[in-house]
Structure 1
Amino acid sequence: MKRIGSLILAVILGISMVGCKSEKKDDTVMTVNSQKISLDNYKKIFALNKQSIEYMYGPTIWDQEIEPGKKYSDKFSEMVVNQIVSTEVLYEQAKKEKLLPTEEEVNKSLGELKKAINADEKYKKQLNDAGLDEKFLKEQQERDLACQKYKENFKKTAKVSDEEIKKYYEENKSSFYKDEVKASHILISTKDKDNKDLSEQKKKEAKEKAEGILKRAKNGEEFAELAKENSDDKASAEKGGDLGFFAKGKMVESFEKAAYALKVGEVSNIVESQFGYHIIKVTDKVAEQIPFKDVKDKIKETLLEQKYSESISKLVKDAKVDKNESALSKITVK
């Protein structure tokens, strides 16, 4: 379901309103340069964005605060409008540079999209109810591909000097410092099969079990074997509890704090998290500056992305945008 939602969202966030040629002033909610955006088309895009967001993040997303005093629902309309504007000017620029896709490319992309939609009858019905027929979707695919081609061409032709790359590395050296821990763990879960918390008595029994296993580990029994026999994290248990290397911010706070405090070869005491009781053994640590040559290509890609974003910002800034704020304000999430 999330894959379908992502596909649809990619289409919707990558398009503007093809063929919106209404001559009625009251029916036009936006004009981007010379392109008119009709109320009917805006409603369709708004509704489809809403459906896709809910598929990926759930209906509670709208009540989440994304900035002080502002919920996601409060900002959503603004986000949709801004995306329409940026996509419209980008498509227009792609057209000027003769970067439109071929009919064959459009049909292939449309076929992949239809296949994903047809795999879910409920979602297919919602699209039909929103009035998004094949003709409409094909028009949007054509625009989306044109925008992709513009980006690809920009990144091929944009210049990034070695001096720029080196400067970025020096100014962001801390970002290229590898500080990772390799650890194994044994988890005694405090959740039932439905992922609900155990009773206090069951939690007490789980902790006693963890303490017994910890004692065996401290007495020198093979940690990997103890993990295979006892850990409720079955994915890592098969590998003797091995979690591989991880950086800061990748594990829950209590687990990370304990792991980073251990020396290589040391076994922790009982560490509690929302998942249960952990016994952790650190098997390796890496703390080193990543050489420039190893990240040069990655930095170049980052700088190309920055230059691309700056070019889009300029196109949007230079665009002539007229909005019917009264009409737009009436279309809300709730």
Structure 2
Amino acid sequence: MQKVFLFLALVFSLTVAARSQEVLDRIVAVVDDNIILQSELDQLTFQFALQNGIDPRKQPEKFEDLRKKVLDQMVVQKILLVKAKQDSVEIDQRRVDKLLEEQINAMVQQLGSPEKLEEYFGTSLRRIRRNIRKEIEERSLVESLQAQKFSQVPVSRREVEEFYKTMKDSLPTLPARVHISHILMPVEPSAEAKRKAMAKIKEVQKKLQAGEDFAKLAKEYSDDKGSAQRGGDLGFTQRGDFVRPFEEVAFNLKPGEISDIVETQFGYHIIQLLDRRGEKIRARHILARVPLTTEDEKRTVHFLDSLRTAIMDGKITFAEAAKRYSKDETTKDKGGDLGWFEIPQLQVKEFREVVDQLKPGEISRPIKTQFGYHLVLLNERQEKRKLSLDKDWETISNFAQTAKRSREFQKWVDEIRKDLYIKINL
């Protein structure tokens, strides 16, 4: 969850170039056997402009300065990507899947809906997912390489003291921060709604088993209106385009094979694989959606209200309740601990507004977000202040270590550059 709230710092690229189909793509940089396209540079520049509040039309000079900085950053990443591949660096695909889902969910939360996300970036959600997945994979390779090379960069006490003496006036003021925990309870459909959806998809399954046409049944029964009119056809896709339970089944089917019933967060699916081309597949599906009602929301809110009362009455601690009931798998085992945040870092508006009003030890009423309903506990609040060696040795030591690591990292990159062909065409 913490990464969800910090997602803007993690999102490295999105598809924006699709806004203008008239622009002819060209190569703006070559790094060994890797190229950087104009469209890729535009995508990343528009993304950083969005993050930094730069309007390309009203601030063209700032935008062009940003474009040059972005290209420099992309070149460095490509240099390190070459080295990562040479060193056979591996990454955890499950972590890639997790980061992808977190980033997509967070962007949908920020913009309001998947449709608005597609409208904003001028392309399909499938393409957005594909581009983000590629960037996460490349960035993860580079980060893994950097971790192997620079995870241990020791700094002595003398180096820390010298750093503080030199940089004292430039060190940032510690901003006001809050330490929060939460309990997440998604709105779950009723057992009756699940039963009806399952009955519907089983009826479809029987018709398929009796030999009825898949496309005809998709048009008649599927609740995925986007694909239903195409007979459930999803076109050619690759890993990362859909949620994991769906993909795990679809990518393991043989051409022509029809799956058993598959459950995802959207409902119940039956999937048929139509074709396979290398790493891409063409599949179609029929979806029986499980609808949510206001009663489902009321039931969730009532449960959290009762849980909040039990915590406040001392019948159970917040940490115990989080471990027992929270559906946030990344924090429940830590008692719901989300860590420290500056208030502006809480990208979810509902969290930010509520936490700003809480006192240490207070628990919020249920807060609704895209992910469900939350109880939020304010563990501690720190007011802003200047850094000092006696109070903030670890923080200043980390700054000193980061500065030293940055110097050594730049020397290392410069050495790698000497052995690579690099050409900039901007």
TM-score, L = length of structure 1: 0.48
Higher-helix-fraction structure: 1
TM-score, L = length of structure 2: 0.39
